[in-house]
Structure 1
Amino acid sequence: MAKLVFTQQLRRFTDTPQVDTPAATLRPALEAAFAVNPRLRGYVLDEQGHLRPHVAIFIDGLRVRDRVTLDDALRPDSSVHVLQALSGG
Protein backbone atom coordinates (compact mmCIF):
# COMPACT_ATOMS: atom_id res chain seq x y z
CA MET A 1 0.00 0.00 0.00
CA ALA A 2 1.09 3.57 -0.64
CA LYS A 3 2.22 5.41 2.47
CA LEU A 4 1.34 9.07 3.23
CA VAL A 5 3.65 10.92 5.59
CA PHE A 6 3.00 14.43 6.87
CA THR A 7 6.01 16.43 8.05
CA GLN A 8 6.42 17.97 11.49
CA GLN A 9 5.50 21.50 10.37
CA LEU A 10 1.85 20.49 10.00
CA ARG A 11 1.88 18.76 13.41
CA ARG A 12 2.06 22.19 15.03
CA PHE A 13 -1.52 22.78 13.91
CA THR A 14 -3.24 19.39 13.95
CA ASP A 15 -2.66 15.66 14.20
CA THR A 16 -0.97 14.30 11.10
CA PRO A 17 -1.52 10.57 10.80
CA GLN A 18 0.72 8.35 8.74
CA VAL A 19 -1.69 6.56 6.44
CA ASP A 20 -1.33 3.41 4.38
CA THR A 21 -3.78 3.36 1.49
CA PRO A 22 -4.53 1.19 -1.54
CA ALA A 23 -5.44 4.34 -3.55
CA ALA A 24 -4.20 4.43 -7.15
CA THR A 25 -3.99 8.24 -7.32
CA LEU A 26 -3.17 11.09 -4.96
CA ARG A 27 -6.64 12.56 -4.29
CA PRO A 28 -8.19 9.38 -2.83
CA ALA A 29 -5.00 8.83 -0.83
CA LEU A 30 -5.39 12.29 0.70
CA GLU A 31 -9.08 11.57 1.35
CA ALA A 32 -8.00 8.54 3.39
CA ALA A 33 -5.89 10.83 5.59
CA PHE A 34 -8.73 13.35 5.88
CA ALA A 35 -11.03 10.54 7.03
CA VAL A 36 -8.66 9.97 9.96
CA ASN A 37 -8.38 13.71 10.74
CA PRO A 38 -10.93 15.95 8.96
CA ARG A 39 -9.19 19.15 10.20
CA LEU A 40 -6.16 18.24 8.10
CA ARG A 41 -8.12 18.96 4.89
CA GLY A 42 -8.16 22.72 5.53
CA TYR A 43 -4.39 22.82 5.95
CA VAL A 44 -3.72 20.90 2.73
CA LEU A 45 -6.54 21.89 0.35
CA ASP A 46 -8.25 25.22 -0.33
CA GLU A 47 -12.00 25.83 -0.61
CA GLN A 48 -12.04 24.54 -4.21
CA GLY A 49 -10.25 21.32 -3.26
CA HIS A 50 -6.96 22.42 -4.85
CA LEU A 51 -3.60 22.06 -3.17
CA ARG A 52 -2.84 25.18 -1.14
CA PRO A 53 0.09 27.32 -2.40
CA HIS A 54 2.08 26.78 0.80
CA VAL A 55 1.85 22.96 0.60
CA ALA A 56 4.15 20.73 -1.43
CA ILE A 57 3.59 17.04 -2.07
CA PHE A 58 6.23 14.64 -3.33
CA ILE A 59 5.49 11.15 -4.63
CA ASP A 60 8.53 8.90 -4.61
CA GLY A 61 10.75 11.99 -4.52
CA LEU A 62 9.04 13.85 -7.39
CA ARG A 63 6.87 16.92 -6.85
CA VAL A 64 3.23 16.48 -7.90
CA ARG A 65 2.44 17.81 -11.37
CA ASP A 66 -1.17 18.87 -11.05
CA ARG A 67 -2.14 20.89 -7.98
CA VAL A 68 -5.81 21.05 -9.06
CA THR A 69 -7.01 17.54 -9.91
CA LEU A 70 -4.36 15.74 -7.81
CA ASP A 71 -4.51 12.77 -10.15
CA ASP A 72 -0.85 11.80 -9.98
CA ALA A 73 -0.54 8.01 -10.03
CA LEU A 74 0.57 6.02 -7.01
CA ARG A 75 2.24 2.64 -7.04
CA PRO A 76 1.42 0.12 -4.31
CA ASP A 77 4.82 0.86 -2.72
CA SER A 78 4.78 4.67 -3.21
CA SER A 79 5.86 7.08 -0.50
CA VAL A 80 3.94 10.34 -0.42
CA HIS A 81 5.37 13.22 1.62
CA VAL A 82 3.18 16.22 2.40
CA LEU A 83 4.95 19.32 3.69
CA GLN A 84 4.70 23.05 3.93
CA ALA A 85 6.53 24.70 1.06
CA LEU A 86 9.24 27.16 2.01
CA SER A 87 9.21 30.65 0.63
CA GLY A 88 11.17 33.76 1.26
CA GLY A 89 13.31 36.34 -0.29
Structure 2
Amino acid sequence: MPRLTIAPNLRRHVDCPPLQLDGGTVGEVLRAAWQHSPRLQGYVLDEQGAVRQHVMVFVNGQRIHDRLGLSDAVAPADEVQIFQALTGG
Protein backbone atom coordinates (compact mmCIF):
# COMPACT_ATOMS: atom_id res chain seq x y z
CA MET A 1 0.00 0.00 0.00
CA PRO A 2 1.27 3.51 -0.77
CA ARG A 3 2.44 5.56 2.20
CA LEU A 4 1.17 9.14 2.69
CA THR A 5 3.20 11.63 4.71
CA ILE A 6 2.35 15.22 5.52
CA ALA A 7 5.04 17.84 6.15
CA PRO A 8 5.29 19.07 9.75
CA ASN A 9 4.33 22.65 8.88
CA LEU A 10 0.97 21.40 7.58
CA ARG A 11 0.56 18.74 10.26
CA ARG A 12 0.52 21.45 12.93
CA HIS A 13 -2.89 22.49 11.51
CA VAL A 14 -4.26 19.00 10.79
CA ASP A 15 -3.35 15.97 12.85
CA CYS A 16 -2.50 13.37 10.23
CA PRO A 17 0.27 10.88 11.01
CA PRO A 18 1.90 8.90 8.18
CA LEU A 19 -0.63 6.46 6.74
CA GLN A 20 -0.56 3.33 4.58
CA LEU A 21 -3.49 3.73 2.17
CA ASP A 22 -5.02 1.90 -0.77
CA GLY A 23 -4.96 3.60 -4.13
CA GLY A 24 -3.56 3.41 -7.64
CA THR A 25 -3.60 7.17 -8.26
CA VAL A 26 -2.82 10.24 -6.19
CA GLY A 27 -6.54 11.03 -6.09
CA GLU A 28 -7.43 7.60 -4.72
CA VAL A 29 -4.76 7.85 -2.03
CA LEU A 30 -5.93 11.33 -1.03
CA ARG A 31 -9.59 10.29 -0.91
CA ALA A 32 -8.57 7.45 1.41
CA ALA A 33 -6.71 10.00 3.57
CA TRP A 34 -9.85 12.14 3.91
CA GLN A 35 -11.47 9.17 5.68
CA HIS A 36 -8.77 9.35 8.38
CA SER A 37 -8.52 13.14 8.52
CA PRO A 38 -11.47 14.94 6.86
CA ARG A 39 -10.04 18.41 7.64
CA LEU A 40 -6.96 17.65 5.54
CA GLN A 41 -8.98 17.95 2.33
CA GLY A 42 -9.61 21.68 2.87
CA TYR A 43 -5.90 22.33 3.33
CA VAL A 44 -4.88 20.38 0.22
CA LEU A 45 -7.65 21.04 -2.32
CA ASP A 46 -9.32 24.28 -3.39
CA GLU A 47 -13.05 24.78 -4.06
CA GLN A 48 -12.70 23.31 -7.59
CA GLY A 49 -11.02 20.14 -6.29
CA ALA A 50 -7.54 21.06 -7.54
CA VAL A 51 -4.41 21.08 -5.40
CA ARG A 52 -4.15 24.52 -3.80
CA GLN A 53 -1.62 26.93 -5.29
CA HIS A 54 0.67 26.86 -2.26
CA VAL A 55 0.53 23.10 -1.70
CA MET A 56 2.88 20.66 -3.40
CA VAL A 57 2.22 16.95 -3.80
CA PHE A 58 5.04 14.54 -4.65
CA VAL A 59 5.26 10.84 -5.47
CA ASN A 60 8.67 9.46 -4.53
CA GLY A 61 10.15 12.95 -4.57
CA GLN A 62 8.75 13.87 -8.00
CA ARG A 63 6.12 16.61 -8.23
CA ILE A 64 2.80 15.38 -9.60
CA HIS A 65 1.75 16.59 -13.05
CA ASP A 66 -2.05 16.48 -12.72
CA ARG A 67 -2.98 18.98 -10.01
CA LEU A 68 -6.67 18.99 -11.04
CA GLY A 69 -7.58 15.38 -11.83
CA LEU A 70 -4.97 13.85 -9.49
CA SER A 71 -4.51 11.02 -11.99
CA ASP A 72 -0.76 10.49 -11.46
CA ALA A 73 -0.11 6.78 -10.91
CA VAL A 74 0.91 5.43 -7.51
CA ALA A 75 2.38 1.96 -7.01
CA PRO A 76 2.01 -0.04 -3.78
CA ALA A 77 5.59 0.73 -2.65
CA ASP A 78 5.38 4.48 -3.44
CA GLU A 79 5.37 7.39 -1.02
CA VAL A 80 3.03 10.33 -1.52
CA GLN A 81 4.17 13.49 0.26
CA ILE A 82 2.27 16.71 0.84
CA PHE A 83 4.09 19.98 1.54
CA GLN A 84 2.88 23.50 2.06
CA ALA A 85 4.95 25.59 -0.33
CA LEU A 86 6.55 28.75 1.05
CA THR A 87 6.59 31.91 -1.04
CA GLY A 88 7.88 35.39 -0.56
CA GLY A 89 11.26 36.90 -0.28
Which residue in 2 is equivalent to 1:43? 43
Fraction of identical pairs, as percent: 45
Alignment of structure 1 residues 18-37 onto 2, 5 Å: 18-37=18-37
RMSD of aligned C-alpha atoms?
Answer: 0.9
Task: Check conservation: 1:57, 1:63, Cα contact below 8 A.
Answer: yes
Q: State the TM-score, normalized to the length of structure 1.
A: 0.94
Contact 2:22 2:28 in 1 (8 A): no
Residue 13 in structure 1 maps to residue 10 in structure 2: no
Segments of structure 2 that go 5 or more residues without pairing to the other structure are none
After TM superposition, the score normalised by the length of structure 2 is 0.94
Amino acid at match of 1:36: H
Hey, what's the Cα distance between the residues in 1 that align with 2:11 and 2:59? 20
Aligned length: 89
Q: Which runs of 5+ in 1 are unaligned?
A: none
Give CA-to-partner distance per residue, 1:22-50, whole Å, 9 cap, x none. Answer: 20000010011111111111000011111
